[in-house]
A and B are shown apart, each in its own frame.
Chain A
Amino acid sequence: MTAALFAEQLLNGIQLGVMLFLIASGLTLVFGIMNFINLAHGSLYMAGGFVAAIVYRYTGSFALAVLVAVPAAAAIGVVMERLVLRRFYGRGHLDQVLVTFALILIMNEGTRMIFGPAPLLIGLPAMLSGSVEILPGVGYPIFRLTILLAGLLVAGLLYLIIMKTRLGMWVRAGASNRPMASAMGVNVPVIFSLLFAVGAALAGLAGIMAGPILSVQVGMGEPILILALVVTVIGGIGSIRGAFIAAVMVGVVDTFGRVLLTPALGSMAIFILMAAILTFRPKGLFPVHG
């Protein structure tokens, strides 16, 4: 492997990691802070992709698709939370897994009934399609650089909000000790609704950003959900910083695993990484709960 190829693959790994972070950040917020396992997070990702594809079909504008689809995913998330999930906060994880798994099935078949089984198209504006030369002779797709940028931006924003604002302080307080935070006057239900909306919006954004490189189709949320769960568990449940570092690790390990190992081993690389990390850090890299 030449140095240029190594650099390109490293960039590929980081870019994949950042895309995983977009979806894992919402998952880890909801999981860690609300102690709620939302398997239907992948369905919100799919919702983002589908709304964006429909808006794109009728307007031909990618920017407009983003502007409509992010709030739409958040809205779907809020409806989901208000109607169903809210009733399951007090229950055990098994009940939560069951109800959110049911939601996956309902969302998938519902989407298929409304939009049909055929995959949809999200195109790109000319500005974002094509590639730029990052190293002599190596072109890199502009859109992948855009994903990288968007992911870093989201990571930075989340970091600022959670570490530097009062809202972030409440969130952190709720994450480390919910009853105590409640007793100190933090309105936990409101924080939860807000968090869920933010998580859904992030999942939707990930779905939109994935649209131009991945297929927008029924069931697109499940394969990515598994990767996001791996990221969440490695990073430490509830930790945004952990999710970011774990996502980049998973992206890089997955990329080099595929390039350097046989296909069977390569597809296992990230799970071996997870097992290795959990052996030494059973609560992940940056555990939030003591």
Chain B
Amino acid sequence: MKRHVLTAAATLMLTGAAMAQEPIKIGFLSTFSGPSAQLGQELLDGFKLGLEQNGNKLGGRPVELIQADDQAKPDVARQHTDKMLERDKIHILTGINFSNVMLAVAKPALDAGTFVYSINAGPSQYAGSQCHPYYFNVSFQNDTAPEAMGLYLQNKGIKRMYLMAPNYPAGKDFLAGFKRFYKGEIVGEVYTTFGQLDYAADIAQLRAANPQGVFFFYPGGMGINFVKQYNQAGLSKTVPLYGPSFSLDQTVLPAIGDAALGSFASAFWTETTDNPQSKKFVADFEAKYGRLPSPNAANAFDGVRLLDAALTSIGGKIEDKAAFRKALENVKFTSLRGNFKFNKNHYPVQDFYLTEITKDAKGRPIMTVREKIDSNHEDAYVKDCKMAAN
């Protein structure tokens, strides 16, 4: 009998050990083809660098990364998610870069009891009334960067602003976020067609309105087109451009070149952020990939470090969901951004900085931090969040 107990105990211990060595499965769903492929690649590169520096382990357990290309389409993303949930049995779904994709895939994943861990997309829905115990966002809420810029220009006493964004939901959200804190006169608020190529006509109207500054949000190729054309129109010296970092980061700056110099961006992290962990990350990233990282890549890298810190604190037992959730909520880790903690709605509370586009020693355009705009900035939706106990 005694022997049987011993054998049973040994077997149990063995399975326990085997459990600990079973990989943590992470579904990495992002955009890897089409015009937005660059964003997915930034996120993946940052995430992989984080894993690599951690010996491809999280909380001591090996990691199995299951990649899929959502093609920036919610329906395609949904199919990949269903496959990841049912066949691969992933523990965590991450990588998603677009908010509309996030809205399509978060619900089925959360319903299946899988953690949704956003390293980029930050829709307002999951920050407010739909906040969920298993949904975490380690990047930003969409409105916060434009809010910070609105706050800065309000404090600076800039009187006449001109606003521009593409005519789609995120464009409207960004300008709404800006107006939440900016109370000066808005001499023009223009929504251009999504994907518009030529901005000459809009720039002529803008010049005629004679604003003191322009706040714009144009992601990706639209931003490249707009900033280059704005500079060629000779306006950037007299009417500065202000934007959230997404319109002026390393995903677009190399293609805009000198035309971006002298523009301002509000950012939670930049390639010049001055702390040891951030400096090491920028150097490591550049050594591995031969380019400077964007805030997207930094958030993905930060996301891996946060996951590792949380999982280490519970011995890698991601299967204990309640414990994993608590570990994430109370996680202690040194963020590349310096100051970082999760709010009640599992979105970040972080600092925002004003940065100016300047050249680095190699002549490349970069975001240089000028001043802190706001400490512990939280999003506007947290008040609507009634976070469930489990």
Contact = CB atoms under 8 A, between A and B. Distances in A.
Contacts of A220: 35, 221
Contacts of B204: 5, 8-9, 12, 259
Interface string A124-159: 000001110000001111111000000000000000
Contacts, number: 119
A212 B228 contact: yes
Nearest to B235: A139
B205 A259 contact: yes
Contacts of B202: 258-259
B193 interface: yes
A267 interface: yes
B306 interface: no
Category for how many chain B residues contact A: 35 or more
A134 B201 CA distance: 16
B234 A218 contact: no
Interface string B221-258: 11011001100111000000000000000011011111
Interface in B177-223: 190-193, 195-198, 200-202, 204-205, 207-208, 220-222
B158 interface: no
A214 B38 contact: no
B125 interface: no
B218 to A, nearest CB: 10
B34 to A, nearest CB: 6
Contacts of B33: 109, 112
Contacts of A121: 254-257
A48 interface: no
Contacts of A239: none
Nearest to B233: A141
A216 interface: yes
Nearest to B257: A121
B167 interface: yes
A12 B205 contact: no
A117 B41 contact: yes
Contacts of B198: 12, 16, 19, 213-214
B167 A264 contact: yes
B353 to A, nearest CB: 24
B37 interface: yes
A240 B252 CA distance: 37
Contacts of A279: none
B215 to A, nearest CB: 17
Nearest to B194: A267
B222 to A, nearest CB: 8
Given A15-B200, A215-B255, A258-B193, A117 B232 contact: no
Nearest to A217: B221
A219 interface: yes
A139 B232 CA distance: 10
B232 A129 contact: yes
Contacts of B221: 119, 214-215, 217, 220
B194 to A, nearest CB: 8
A140 B255 CA distance: 22
A138 B235 CA distance: 11
B225 A5 contact: no
Nearest to A133: B234
B255 A139 contact: no
A280 B141 CA distance: 51
Contacts of B256: 121
Nearest to B221: A215
Contacts of B197: 210, 214, 223-224
Interface of A: 2, 5, 8-9, 12-13, 15-16, 19, 108-109, 112, 116-121, 123, 129-131, 138-144, 210, 212-220, 223-224, 255-256, 258-259, 263-264, 266-267
The 10 closest A-B pairs by CB, nearest first: A215-B224, A119-B255, A117-B38, A141-B232, A215-B221, A117-B37, A267-B193, A131-B234, A219-B35, A12-B200
Given A16-B200, A144-B200, 8 more contacts: A8-B204, A108-B34, A131-B233, A141-B232, A215-B221, A215-B224, A220-B35, A259-B205
